[in-house]
Chains A and B, each alone.
Chain A
Amino acid sequence: MGILEVKGVNKRFGGLQALGDVNLSVAENTVHAIIGPNGAGKSTLLNCLVGKLIPDTGSVMFDGQSVLGRKPFEINQMGISRVFQTPEIFGDLTVLENMMIPCFAKRDGSFELNAIPSVASQTDVLEKAEAMLVDMNMADKRHMNAASMSRGDKRRLEIGMCLSQEPRLLLLDEPTAGMARADTNNTIDLLKQIKDERDITIAIIEHDMHVVFSLSERITVLAQGTPLVEDTPENIKGHPKVREAYLGESA
């Protein structure tokens, strides 16, 4: 039994069958990549996992509990954090404040009317956020406005924000899309480090084969809304069906 079990998921948008009978099992403490050509249904699948979309049929179980019908914030509180394709951070807030918000969410839950004590008096949250900034190697930027950082730094901050919630499953939606080579390599190193140092399951959607093959232990190939094969990176590389559906087209 994997930590995430997707069974028989279908999703239709009008005449388009975006997902057709998707089965997927992500084992605990592994890095599982989902790849596929444009329009294969990768993002639709991801949106079904986090509560943004509700599948027409099928089930999505996380740690033995169904996520279907729950709101994104509830699914997040169950232990699934999501990193977006374009970094979603609090642009008007400082880097430190950005890091504190998930720490508050972890400590206080989805709502807490904590309106009288000052932020400065919340030492446990402050320490945790500061420590995570050090881990993310951005402690020197703590008082910067988050929106003014480079894209690579924003991505790093977003990953750090997700990690400070101590999620059991981290979902990454094309984490290196639109990044320069150096930033891409930095992100790969960061993700490798996270994988080695933490008890965490990572599911990653990615276009960049370099990223996929340097990180993942299992790969699922989606094509036209259906899983084509699921195997180890070595076997996927040489798989004829994959070459035909994916690598053959883009190479």
Chain B
Amino acid sequence: MFGLDKKDTTMLLVVAIMALFAPFILNPFPADSAMAQFNAGYPDLMQRFVIFGIFAIGFNILFGLTGYLSFGHAAFLGVGSYSAVWMFKLLSMNVIPAILLSVVMAGLFALLIGFVSLRRSGIYFSILTLAFAQMSFNLAYSVLTPITNGETGLQLTLNDPRVLGVSQTADGSIPVTSLFGLEMRSTYEMHLGPWLFQFNAGYYLSALIMLASFYLAIRIFRSPFGMMLRAVKSNQQRMNYTGLNTRPYTLAAFVISGMYAGLAGGLMASMDPLAGAERMQWTASGEVVLMTILGGAGTLIGPVVGAGFIKYFENIFSKINDNVLHQWFAFMPDGLEDAMVFIVHPFIGKGWHLTLGILFMLVVIFLPGGLVEGGQKIAAWVRKKRNKGSDDTTTKTEPAE
């Protein structure tokens, strides 16, 4: 189906179903139960899951296939956001032109940075991209204030000269982003017993775009172009002596992944029309590297899993505070309860980075292929167990050599 083989079609369908039913899947706990804080099914977070999924899918096309580790991809995300907000300010509140401009601008920007950075490989390439991203950050933060509004960040105001639309609505407020009239913030709430499920227009638009991006990524991975990119990672010398010019291949991969980042940035601004320089900072670039490696670089589904994992930690784990811990350990005697809270305290709330860091280390050391490899190992183990049950006799009667 869709020009994919059976395995890829299944994977695409699973991702599609997960994305479609995310409001249910991510909200397993009743709204006012003690576990409700682990619910991740609210629009803002769900949007972030899929948007960072797009960012990581694109990053993986460069890093996973060619092995070129860019430390500056957040620059393209930022360029995408700024472009989108400018489109909202000048043209219309419709998200389509904004997203299109984000992708185009990020692509042009990636072409420029890639053209220079790809003259080197390995660590030098990484440093060059990092330098470019930091330059972009500093430009956005101070030098280019007329375009980026400096440290305040670019926002919509009540007197934006919007060509196709109004500067302010009838009641004197800033208009909201929409898709041909469908407001991105509009949310349908479904009360089902004690459960609350939220269906948000912005989330579903982002999810559909994520699915399209994921589909495109599968096609690229399975194409001759994708094979060439893997060949670049494997042996550049052989590429050159096989009559293949590696530079345009890596540049194309770089620009494509930059456009994915721009798409993510444009979507971010479409959900919440503001753009700040901090979106371009090196920590943001590092985050997408973590997502990709944590999920499994070079695998199709890995980056999406990694993005979801990190965003879940960032938003859910960070909300657990000492009060919550005291509730959890309330069944223990007082002294022990305090001791437990004391031990767990550094790993929660603001300390979520510590937990994530430890998890990241464990994954890199024990599962170099990321969480996807972990999944494969579990699947293989289950299969082995099942086989052992059914054909126990055959394995035992095999003679030793």
Contacts and interface: CB of A to CB of B under 8 A. Distances in A.
Contact of B244 (A91, A105, A113, A117): A105
Contacts of A50: 241
B69 to A, nearest CB: 16
B228 interface: yes
6 contacts: A81-B241, A93-B234, A101-B228, A119-B223, A122-B224, A161-B242
A105 B224 CA distance: 11
B234 A110 contact: no
A114 B225 contact: yes
Interface in A97-128: 97, 100-102, 104-106, 108-120, 122, 125
B185 interface: no
A187 interface: no
Given A72-B240, A72-B241, A101-B242, A115 B227 contact: no
Nearest to A161: B242
A118 B222 CA distance: 5
Contacts of A73: 239-245
Interface residues of B, number: 30
B238 A88 contact: yes
Given A88-B237, A89-B238, A110 B245 contact: yes
Contact of A76 (B220, B228, B235, B241): B241
B230 interface: yes
B220 A115 contact: yes
A104 B230 contact: no
A130 to B, nearest CB: 16
Interface string B92-121: 000000000000000000000000000000
Contacts of A109: 243
Contacts of B219: 115-116, 118
A116 B223 contact: yes
Interface in B234-273: 234-235, 237-245, 248-249, 252, 256
Contacts of B252: 113, 115
Contacts of B234: 90-93
Contacts of A71: 240, 245
A165 B243 contact: yes
B226 interface: yes
Contacts of A104: 224, 227-228
A118 B3 contact: yes
Interface in B55-83: none
Given A114-B224, A116-B223, A118-B223, A82 B241 contact: yes
A200 B252 CA distance: 35
Interface of B, secondary structure class, is helix
A77 interface: yes
A250 B231 CA distance: 40
Contacts of A88: 235, 237-238, 241
A234 to B, nearest CB: 34
Contact of B249 (A74, A91, A111): A111
Nearest to A101: B231
B233 interface: yes
Contacts of B240: 71-73, 76
B5 to A, nearest CB: 7
Contacts of A114: 223-225
Which among B227, B249, B256 has the highest number of chain A CB atoms within 10 Å? B227
A235 B243 CA distance: 37
A97 B227 contact: yes
A92 B227 CA distance: 11
Contacts of A112: 224-225
Interface string B123-139: 00000000000000000
B223 A90 contact: no
A91 B222 CA distance: 18
A119 B241 contact: no
A113 B245 contact: no
Which 7 A-B residue pairings sit nearest by Cβ, starting from the closest? A76-B243, A115-B225, A90-B234, A110-B245, A92-B234, A77-B243, A111-B248
Interface in A173-224: none
Contacts of A115: 219-220, 223, 225-226, 252, 256
A120 B237 CA distance: 26
Given A92-B234, A97-B230, A112-B224, 19 more contacts: A76-B241, A84-B237, A84-B241, A88-B238, A90-B235, A97-B231, A100-B224, A104-B228, A105-B244, A108-B224, A110-B243, A112-B225, A116-B223, A118-B3, A118-B4, A118-B219, A119-B222, A119-B224, A165-B242
Which among B228, B233, B240 has the highest number of chain A CB atoms within 10 Å? B240
Contacts of A119: 222-224, 226-227
